[in-house]
């Protein structure tokens, strides 16, 4: 089945937030903090501007709490006394002319008395820079299995390593944007680009001091998210709503690229330290891992990013003794937030690069070492979750190596490298997993709900809060619903996420949408059958006729089937001890990268890439493949080119000219293969796949570079400048 | 000779029709198309000529409309994504060339240009020709395969 | 904001004579970057050259290839004859942004903008090109590209002068090299750019992104002229140190630029001239 809204997108008919032309709309803009940390002394409005033309909002205009509603309520909607990062929102302006609004922003000066800022998460903060708890730790989490110290003491080999990754900017092609207005019933409406309408709703009710009936959130077509539109839209939605309420006119805020890059969330920078014990036969006996994430200026989602990060840190290997200590640290930079993979890419990069380092130290090949240690059915992960899904994880790895012609390439490279003047080739891989859906008891807390309505004409309407942002959610929902009901897709419609119409089926994050919410759709259709007294296996005309008949005899326009998430009984998670089923299921993968390094420029090019994964069930081949290929290329960017450059706590390269993402000409075809092993609790057997593909490229590529050259890279992005330094150090 | 202060009236051939518009000298073609003429298919991705989301054809060749002053469109032939037919994009739909859709109109416009000039492939690769359109979703395979399929269809029918 | 729209060169230079701070606008690919944010740029006056038909097109004579000031990169990329006679111009033009920039960006605009990272200027300089500066009353002078720039974004062009043509002498070259090191393959701004030619007039080595202006590298040219033995990239570092002064910026580092330039020059010439081995 082809993408539902594909033609609208291809023909330019899809109306994104900036395309919605609202009569009498004002342009909203944001005045931001000029420094990383300080106290606001004064806000000066230039006398050269006629401020009577502007609507001006500051923290005093917030009717509810000046807090962005999330895990902790530490982030203000608008700064009051204190600023904690550069580009933090302080004052909002609206004007009928976009250009005048821009001039207005230039005409406001936020005078700040600077305070000592914490700018490097890797160094312990001195007292003057501590702003959270005793040592700026936003969150601490740990996993303990067995006796790590004893195992390390008796291990044949102990290998240590430290791995670092930098911030990554999402670069969704559509910048953040929201429109807000107050409707005729006095309801504050916000429409815009977002992943999670109910997160935005919660933020609005909290900041505006209204109930859910008094606020309404509608998703506009969303031009890419990757996690960047998970939490930040709450901020900008509150801003647009505050302006609209004060102006009593619609207000549109659409960031330009520079503002979006400078002021919105990014992937958490990380440092991961490994100390690994291995016995004589190459078996892992101890994994001692410390994970540190840069959380940025507020708590936002860091505790859950850290959680997913540490759970993935020990990887898809069997080891009886594991200790993982994780810490997220406050710094005075933009809050780091959700980004595809959510902590797992950082820890899996470290782990899979380290696995190659360990193999080399103990005189094994990377594949031999992994073959011995990849988790077998009946063995358990670091949290003690016993894996028994029947997937052949070694087989996934072997298939990846086979497709990449790994053995043959190694031989070819040896002769190529011996003869070429300045090019060196190498091949490397990573074996990894990604937990699908929310971590631990997350899905239980969410208690997601889904509605499927049968309409009087027999049409079936699917109502969820899950958003299409390019990943293909609506197309997949359509297929799941049509097949569950046994009807043609033309008889199913997917409702626009609108909090006045759709139930809270949870956020569109964590690779959960097809798997978890898709399953809820199937169950809601079962409920619909029960509501109308249709047979439990009623499908096709039997079902639609029954819907029509029920509506007709009850004088109703619709009949609603409902479902709510139910925890699979075997999933048991202990939040206190961090033990048990961290995820209902995992997707398993091996990615193989072949690289060519140009010794003239230290430029690394990926010349072949193979991605093999077991994902339960492929719901739509084209969409699934597109998810993998897109994630891999995003991972190639993170590994080799994408580097946020900081100046006094602000992103200095907040331009697409200077923050470099791959073009079509920078990447090779990404060869994708799926293996299937249906998951009982996923729609049609599917597991989540959205995040998986970003976990593998960075370690595979760096392993390939290590194979090509006589260096051991440990940090990403491995730009040519960094590789040159590394090679110089290695050869001094 | 003309002295342009205040609004300027320009005429151009837009999607096959003669169109006149009053433009501010400081206006970009992107803004004229989107906000004055209501052709919102052309997207703004970066405003710095880097991403190609705002690509339109000017006298048959792709340009970034964020870098074109509207007054320079006078007398020119401009084609936007709105001029493209559904049948033109079928191969792109099938190959998965669009995901979030924000870069897509630019990609479609560049693909239309490549399609009219298959001779370019004698000197350039498709990846080089499409390199001015950044996409963050697809990883480009869906895009490249879609354009290739378009060219194959054309090759067979000509 | 004001725009003047001359239809011929005489009008254009007359306007410049009256109002020297007018900014000539050709393809706009430099001037319009981040345009909405440049509020102050809207207070200026512009001289739109797009209506001056005589500035379009290329001409060949026995001695020169002459580019009108509105000649775009794409016109050069698609011109087979330029490809045969001035291969580096096509190679460099192909690496300017991508089609959307190549179709609008002009060689003359690249010269006028004066960026030290320009892609068109180094090859013009390596081919010994000259630029025509016209002024009111029929004034015109030809200036060699390699004496055009005086400092960062500064040149010998007077404010009342307009770049109208660029001419490239037709000559035979034994060696022609263009290497652009960018942060990715396409759509990149050069971190190191290098154009090298050797013809009857000897060596020309031109570096981009290595100094406040694009410039010839006299010390390297001297090394090459006297055929000093160069056995490894590092043998060039001393000369590079004399010729250029790279900096750390958002795109790269001075150390990277210096060593990469040495390696690129070395590998470009290795095996092609007897003294580079």
**What confidence tens digit (pLDDT) does each residue in B19-73 have?**
999 999 999 999 999 999 999 999 999 999 999 999 999 999 999 999 999 999 9
Mean per-residue pLDDT over chain C, rounded: 97
Chain C within 8 Å of B25 (Cβ-Cβ)?
yes
What is residue B155's predicted lDDT score, i.e. its pLDDT?
Answer: 86
Based on the fold, state whether residues A233 and A289 are members of the same structural domain. no
In chain A, which residue's Cα lies nearest the Cα of B104?
A: A10
Q: Where are the domains of chain C?
A: 173-269
Q: In sequence order, what are the residues at sequence separation of 6 or more whose Cβ sits closer than 8 angstroms to the Cβ of residue A404? A: A427, A429, A592, A594, A608, A610
Based on the fold, state whether residues A424 and A480 are members of the same structural domain. no
Test C184 with A106 for CB contact under 8 angstroms: no
Test A8 with B100 for CB contact under 8 angstroms: no
Nearest to A629 by CA among C37, B138, C111: B138
From A528's Cα to the closest Cα of chain B, the distance in A is 32
8-state DSSP, B34: I
Chain C within 8 Å of B8 (Cβ-Cβ)?
yes
Based on the fold, state whether residues A98 and A225 are members of the same structural domain. yes
User: How many residues are there in chain A?
Assistant: 732
Secondary element (H or E) of residue B127: helix B126-129
Task: Using CB atoms, pick whichever of B3, B72, B132 lies closest to residue C101.
Answer: B132
| CA A563/CA C83 separation, integer angstroms | 67
Test C99 with B48 for CB contact under 8 angstroms: no
Q: Which two tokens stand for residue A618?
A: 């492929």
Half-sphere exposure of A446 (CA within 13 A, CB side): 29
What is residue C35's predicted lDDT score, i.e. its pLDDT?
Answer: 96
C130 pLDDT more than 60: yes
| CA B51/CA C188 separation, integer angstroms | 12
C-beta pairs of A57-62 under 8 Å, 24+ apart in sequence: A57/A91, A57/A92, A57/A93, A57/A94, A57/A239, A57/A242, A57/A243, A57/A246, A58/A90, A58/A91, A58/A92, A61/A242, A61/A246, A62/A207, A62/A208, A62/A238, A62/A242
pLDDT per position as a tens digit, C6-42: 999 999 999 999 999 999 999 999 999 999 999 999 9
Other Cβ atoms within 10 Å of A303 Cβ, number: 18
| CA C119/CA C179 separation, integer angstroms | 10
Whether A707 maps to a domain, the answer reads yes
What ipTM was estimated for this complex? 0.97
Based on the fold, state whether residues A399 and A488 are members of the same structural domain. no
Determine the residue among B47, B87, B101, B125 to mutate to test chain A binding: the one whose Cβ has the most chain A Cβ atoms within 10 Å: B101
Asked if A560 and A592 touch (Cβ cutoff 8 Å), the reply is no
Test A664 with B82 for CB contact under 8 angstroms: no
Q: Was domain C173-269 assigned CATH 3.30.390.50?
A: yes
Q: What is the mean pLDDT of residues A112-129?
A: 97
Test A665 with C186 for CB contact under 8 angstroms: yes
Chain C within 8 Å of B132 (Cβ-Cβ)?
yes
> B8-82, what's its fold?
Ubiquitin-like (UB roll) (3.10.20)
Number of compact structural domains in chain A:
3
Last residue of a domain, one of A514, A533, A564: A564
Say whether C107 sits in a helix, a strand or coil: helix
Which residues from chain B sit within 8 angstroms of residue A223, using beta carbons?
43, 100-102
Asked if A430 and A352 touch (Cβ cutoff 8 Å), the reply is yes
From C1's Cα to the closest Cα of chain A, the distance in A is 13
Whether A283 maps to a domain, the answer reads yes
Which residues from chain B sit within 8 angstroms of residue C25, using beta carbons?
69, 72
pLDDT per position as a tens digit, A38-75: 999 999 999 999 999 999 999 999 999 999 999 999 99
Asked if A93 and A31 touch (Cβ cutoff 8 Å), the reply is yes
Determine the residue among A29, A100, A601 to mutate to test chain C binding: the one whose Cβ has the most chain C Cβ atoms within 10 Å: A601
Determine the residue among C187, C233, C277 to mutate to test chain A binding: the one whose Cβ has the most chain A Cβ atoms within 10 Å: C187
The enclosing domain of A644 has a CATH number of 3.30.365.10
Test A103 with C39 for CB contact under 8 angstroms: yes
Whether A145 maps to a domain, the answer reads no
C63 pLDDT more than 50: yes
Task: Using CB atoms, pick whichever of B38, B104, B127 lies closest to residue A10.
Answer: B104
- ∠ CA A727-A413-C264, rounded to 5°: 45
Secondary element (H or E) of residue C226: none
Q: Where are the domains of chain B?
A: 8-82, 84-157
Chain C within 8 Å of B122 (Cβ-Cβ)?
no
Whether A144 maps to a domain, the answer reads no
- Chains with 3+ CB–CB pairs under 8 A to C are A, B
| CA B45/CA A18 separation, integer angstroms | 11
- Concatenate the DSSP letters of all residues of A530-565 into one string: HHTT--TT--THHHHHHHHHHHHHHT-SEEEEEEE-
Test C255 with A724 for CB contact under 8 angstroms: yes
A382 pLDDT more than 90: yes
pLDDT per position as a tens digit, A481-513: 999 999 999 999 999 999 999 999 999 999 999
Test B24 with C5 for CB contact under 8 angstroms: no
Test B2 with C97 for CB contact under 8 angstroms: no
Which residues from chain B sit within 8 angstroms of residue C2, using beta carbons?
3-5, 25
Based on the fold, state whether residues A185 and A65 are members of the same structural domain. yes
From C259's Cα to the closest Cα of chain A, the distance in A is 9
Give the domain range for residue A483. 448-564
Q: Which two tokens stand for residue A589?
A: 């993968």
From A660's Cα to the closest Cα of chain B, the distance in A is 10
- ∠ CA A397-A399-A400, rounded to 5°: 65
Test C259 with A724 for CB contact under 8 angstroms: yes
What is residue B156's predicted lDDT score, i.e. its pLDDT?
Answer: 83
Q: Please name every residue paired with C118 in a beta bridge, in sequence order, or none if there are none.
A: none
Based on the fold, state whether residues A555 and A623 are members of the same structural domain. no
What is residue B5's predicted lDDT score, i.e. its pLDDT?
Answer: 58
Half-sphere exposure of A443 (CA within 13 A, CB side): 30
Secondary element (H or E) of residue C106: none
Q: What is the mean pLDDT of residues B148-153?
A: 93
Test B1 with C11 for CB contact under 8 angstroms: yes
Determine the residue among C99, C183, C187 to mutate to test chain B binding: the one whose Cβ has the most chain B Cβ atoms within 10 Å: C99
From A278's Cα to the closest Cα of chain B, the distance in A is 38
Whether A646 maps to a domain, the answer reads yes
What is residue C32's predicted lDDT score, i.e. its pLDDT?
Answer: 97
Task: Using CB atoms, pick whichever of A256, A626, A657 lies closest to residue B96.
Answer: A626
How much of chain B, in percent, has pLDDT values that exceed 90? 92
Based on the fold, state whether residues A425 and A311 are members of the same structural domain. yes
Kindly state the greatest CA–CA separation across chain A: 86
C-beta pairs of A565-573 under 8 Å, 24+ apart in sequence: A565/A443, A565/A444, A565/A446, A565/A447, A565/A448, A565/A449, A565/A506, A565/A516, A565/A520, A567/A443, A567/A444, A568/A680, A568/A681, A573/A440, A573/A441
Confidence of residue B153 (pLDDT cuts 50, 70, 90): confident
| CA A330/CA C132 separation, integer angstroms | 58
What is residue A728's predicted lDDT score, i.e. its pLDDT?
Answer: 87
Based on the fold, state whether residues A642 and A726 are members of the same structural domain. yes
From B116's Cα to the closest Cα of chain C, the distance in A is 15
How much of chain A, in percent, has pLDDT values that exceed 70? 100
8-state DSSP, A578: T
B6 pLDDT more than 90: no
| CA A535/CA A525 separation, integer angstroms | 12
What is residue A732's predicted lDDT score, i.e. its pLDDT?
Answer: 55
Confidence of residue B1 (pLDDT cuts 50, 70, 90): very low
Nearest to A626 by CA among A686, A670, A561, A560: A670
In chain A, which residue's Cα lies nearest the Cα of B101?
A: A9
Q: Which two tokens stand for residue B100?
A: 């979030």
Nearest to A545 by CA among A472, A486, A457, A651: A457
Asked if A144 and A574 touch (Cβ cutoff 8 Å), the reply is no
Task: Using CB atoms, pick whichever of A10, A19, A625 lies closest to residue B40.
Answer: A19
A577 pLDDT more than 60: yes
From C186's Cα to the closest Cα of chain A, the distance in A is 6
In chain C, which residue's Cα lies nearest the Cα of B54?
A: C100
Based on the fold, state whether residues A434 and A458 are members of the same structural domain. no
Test A99 with C259 for CB contact under 8 angstroms: no
Test B55 with C5 for CB contact under 8 angstroms: no
Q: What is the mean pLDDT of residues A383-410?
A: 98
- Chains with 3+ CB–CB pairs under 8 A to B are A, C
Chain B within 8 Å of C36 (Cβ-Cβ)?
yes
- Concatenate the DSSP letters of all residues of A308-368 into one string: HHHHHHT-SB--S-EEEEEEEEE-SSSPP---TTTTHHHHHHHHHHHHHHHHHHTT--HHH
Angle between helices B141-157 and B104-116 (to 10 degrees): 30
Q: What is the mean pLDDT of residues A717-731?
A: 92
Whether A131 maps to a domain, the answer reads no
Asked if A426 and A544 touch (Cβ cutoff 8 Å), the reply is no
pLDDT per position as a tens digit, A191-234: 999 999 999 999 999 999 999 999 999 999 999 999 999 999 99
Q: What is the mean pLDDT of residues A102-127?
A: 97
Q: Could you say which residues from 122 to 181 on chain C have a Cβ atom under 8 Å away from some Cβ of chain B?
A: none
Based on the fold, state whether residues A289 and A394 are members of the same structural domain. yes
In chain A, which residue's Cα lies nearest the Cα of B94?
A: A2
Q: What is the pTM of this model?
A: 0.98
Based on the fold, state whether residues A510 and A488 are members of the same structural domain. yes
- Chains with 3+ CB–CB pairs under 8 A to A are B, C
Half-sphere exposure of A291 (CA within 13 A, CB side): 35
Test B69 with C29 for CB contact under 8 angstroms: no
What torsion do the CA atoms of A260, B44, A172, C191 make, to the nearest 10 degrees?
-80
| CA A186/CA C126 separation, integer angstroms | 69
Whether A30 maps to a domain, the answer reads yes
What b/e readout covers A491-501, taking b as 16+ CB neighbours within 10 angstroms? bbbbbbbbbee
Determine the residue among B44, B72, B122, B130 to mutate to test chain C binding: the one whose Cβ has the most chain C Cβ atoms within 10 Å: B72
From B134's Cα to the closest Cα of chain C, the distance in A is 10
| CA C141/CA C135 separation, integer angstroms | 9
Q: Superfamily assignment of B84-157 in CATH?
A: [2Fe-2S]-binding domain (1.10.150.120)
Read off φ and ψ for residue A225, nearest 5 degrees. Answer: -135, -65
Task: Using CB atoms, pick whichever of B108, B136, B142 lies closest to residue A173.
Answer: B136
pLDDT per position as a tens digit, C106-129: 999 999 999 999 999 999 999 999
Based on the fold, state whether residues A225 and A288 are members of the same structural domain. no
Task: Using CB atoms, pick whichever of B26, B47, B49 lies closest to residue C100.
Answer: B49
Test C252 with A721 for CB contact under 8 angstroms: yes
Test B102 with A10 for CB contact under 8 angstroms: no
Task: Using CB atoms, pick whichever of C37, C186, C256 lies closest to residue A720.
Answer: C256
What is residue B2's predicted lDDT score, i.e. its pLDDT?
Answer: 46
């Amino acid at each position: 089945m082809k993408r539902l809204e594909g033609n609208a997108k291809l023909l330019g008919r899809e109306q994104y937030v900036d395309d919605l032309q609202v009569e009498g709309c004002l342009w909203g803009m944001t005045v931001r903090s000029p420094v990383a940390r300080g106290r606001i002394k004064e806000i000066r409005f230039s006398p050269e501007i006629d401020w009577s033309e502007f609507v001006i909002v500051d923290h005093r205009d917030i009717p509810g709490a000046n807090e962005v509603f999330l895990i902790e309520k530490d982030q203000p909607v608008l700064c009051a006394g204190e600023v904690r990062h550069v580009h933090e929102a302080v004052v909002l302006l609206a004007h009928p002319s976009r250009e005048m609004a821009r001039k207005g922003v230039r005409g406001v000066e936020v005078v700040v008395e600077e305070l000592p800022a914490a700018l490097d998460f890797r160094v312990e903060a001195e007292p003057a820079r501590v702003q959270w708890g005793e040592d700026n730790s936003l969150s601490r989490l740990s996993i303990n299995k067995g006796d790590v110290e004893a195992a390390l003491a008796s291990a044949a080999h102990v290998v240590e390593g430290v791995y670092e990754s930098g911030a990554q900017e999402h670069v969704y092609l559509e910048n953040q944007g929201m429109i807000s207005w107050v409707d005729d019933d006095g309801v504050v409406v916000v429409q815009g680009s977002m992943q999670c309408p109910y997160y935005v709703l919660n933020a609005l009710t909290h900041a505006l001091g209204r109930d859910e009936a008094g606020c309404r959130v509608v998703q506009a077509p969303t031009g890419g998210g990757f996690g960047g539109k998970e939490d930040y839209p709450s901020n900008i939605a509150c801003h647009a709503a505050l302006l609209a309420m004060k102006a009593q006119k619609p207000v549109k805020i659409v960031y330009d690229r520079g503002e979006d890059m400078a002021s919105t969330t990014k992937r958490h920078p990380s440092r991961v330290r490994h100390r690994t014990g291995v016995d004589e036969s190459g078996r892992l006996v101890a994994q001692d891992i410390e994970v540190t994430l840069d959380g940025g200026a507020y708590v936002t989602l860091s505790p859950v990013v850290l959680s997913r990060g540490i759970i993935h840190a020990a990887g898809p290997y069997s080891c009886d003794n594991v200790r993982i200590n994780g810490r997220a640290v406050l710094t005075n930079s933009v809050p780091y937030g959700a980004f595809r993979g959510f902590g797992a890419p950082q820890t899996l990069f470290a782990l899979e690069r380290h696995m190659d380092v360990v193999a080399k130290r103990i005189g094994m090949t990377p594949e031999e070492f992994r073959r011995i240690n990849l988790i077998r059915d009946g063995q358990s992960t670091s949290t003690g979750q016993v894996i028994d899904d029947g997937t052949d994880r070694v087989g996934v790895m072997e298939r990846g190596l086979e497709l990449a012609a790994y053995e043959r390439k190694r031989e070819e490279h040896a002769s190529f490298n011996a003869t070429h003047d300045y090019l060196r080739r190498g091949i490397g891989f990573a074996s990894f997993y990604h937990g699908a859906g929310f971590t631990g008891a997350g899905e239980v807390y969410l208690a997601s709900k889904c509605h499927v309505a049968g309409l009087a004409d027999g049409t079936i309407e699917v109502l969820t809060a899950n958003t299409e942002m390019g990943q293909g959610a609506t197309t997949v929902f359509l297929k799941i619903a049509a097949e569950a009901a046994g009807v043609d897709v033309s008889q199913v419609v997917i409702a626009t996420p609108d909090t006045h119409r759709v139930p809270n089926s949870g956020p569109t994050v964590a690779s959960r949408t097809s798997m978890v919410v898709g399953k809820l759709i199937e169950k809601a259709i079962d409920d619909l059958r029960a509501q109308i007294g249709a047979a439990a296996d009623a499908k096709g005309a039997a079902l639609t006729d029954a819907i029509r008949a029920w509506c007709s005899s009850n004088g109703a326009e619709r009949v609603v089937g409902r479902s709510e998430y139910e925890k699979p009984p075997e999933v048991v998670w202990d939040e206190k001890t961090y033990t048990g089923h961290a995820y209902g299921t995992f997707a398993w993968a091996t990615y193989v990268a072949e690289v060519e390094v140009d010794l003239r420029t230290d430029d690394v090019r990926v010349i072949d890439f193979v991605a093999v994964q077991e994902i339960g069930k492929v719901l739509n081949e084209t969409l699934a493949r597109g998810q993998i290929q897109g994630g891999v290329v995003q991972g190639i960017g993170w590994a080799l080119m994408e580097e946020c450059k900081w100046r006094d706590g602000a992103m200095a390269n907040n331009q697409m000219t200077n923050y470099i993402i791959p073009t079509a000409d920078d990447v090779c075809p990404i060869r994708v293969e799926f293996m299937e092993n249906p998951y009982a609790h996923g729609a049609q057997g599917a597991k989540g796949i959205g995040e998986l593909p970003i976990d593998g490229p960075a370690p595979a590529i760096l392993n390939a570079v290590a194979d090509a050259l006589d260096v051991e890279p440990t940090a990403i992005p491995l730009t040519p400048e960094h590789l040159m330094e590394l090679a110089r150090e290695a050869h001094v | 000779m003309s002295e342009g202060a205040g609004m300027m009236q320009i005429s151009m051939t837009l999607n096959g029709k003669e169109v006149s518009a009053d433009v501010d000298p400081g206006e970009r073609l992107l803004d004229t198309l989107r906000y004055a003429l209501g052709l919102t298919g052309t997207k703004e991705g970066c405003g710095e000529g880097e991403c190609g989301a705002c690509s339109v054809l000017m006298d048959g060749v792709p340009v970034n409309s964020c870098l074109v002053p509207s007054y320079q469109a006078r007398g020119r032939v401009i084609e936007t994504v709105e001029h493209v037919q559904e049948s033109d994009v079928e191969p792109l739909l099938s190959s998965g060339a669009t995901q979030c859709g924000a870069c897509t109109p630019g990609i479609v416009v560049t693909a239309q240009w490549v399609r009219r000039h298959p001779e370019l492939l004698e000197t350039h690769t498709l990846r080089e020709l499409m390199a001015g359109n950044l996409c963050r979703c697809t990883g480009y395979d869906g895009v490249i395969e879609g354009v290739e399929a378009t060219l194959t269809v054309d090759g067979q029918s000509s | 904001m004001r725009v003047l729209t001359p239809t011929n060169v005489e009008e254009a230079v007359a306007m410049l004579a009256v109002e020297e701070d007018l900014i000539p606008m050709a393809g706009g690919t430099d001037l319009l970057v981040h345009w909405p944010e440049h509020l102050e740029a809207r207070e200026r006056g512009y001289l739109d050259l797009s209506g001056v038909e005589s500035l379009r097109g290329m001409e060949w004579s026995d001695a020169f290839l002459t580019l009108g000031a509105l000649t775009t990169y794409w016109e050069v990329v698609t011109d087979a004859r330029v490809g045969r006679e001035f291969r580096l111009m096509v190679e460099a033009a192909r690496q300017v942004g991508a089609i959307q920039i190549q179709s609008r960006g002009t060689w003359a605009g690249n010269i006028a903008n004066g960026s030290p990272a320009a892609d068109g200027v180094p090859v013009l300089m390596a081919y010994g090109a000259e630029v025509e500066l016209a002024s009111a009353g029929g004034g015109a002078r030809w200036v060699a590209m390699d004496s055009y720039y005086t400092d960062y974004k500064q040149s010998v062009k007077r404010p009342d002068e307009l770049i109208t043509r660029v001419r490239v002498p037709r000559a035979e070259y034994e060696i022609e090299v263009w290497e652009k090191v960018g942060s990715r393959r396409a759509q990149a701004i050069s971190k190191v750019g290098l154009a090298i030619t050797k013809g009857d007039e000897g060596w020309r080595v031109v570096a981009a992104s290595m100094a406040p202006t694009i410039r010839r590298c006299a010390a390297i040219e001297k090394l090459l002229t006297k055929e000093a033995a160069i056995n490894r990239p590092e043998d060039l570092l001393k000369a590079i140190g004399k010729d250029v002064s790279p900096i750390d910026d958002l795109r790269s580092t001075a150390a990277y630029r210096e060593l990469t330039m040495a390696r690129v020059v070395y590998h470009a010439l290795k095996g092609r001239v007897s003294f580079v081995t």
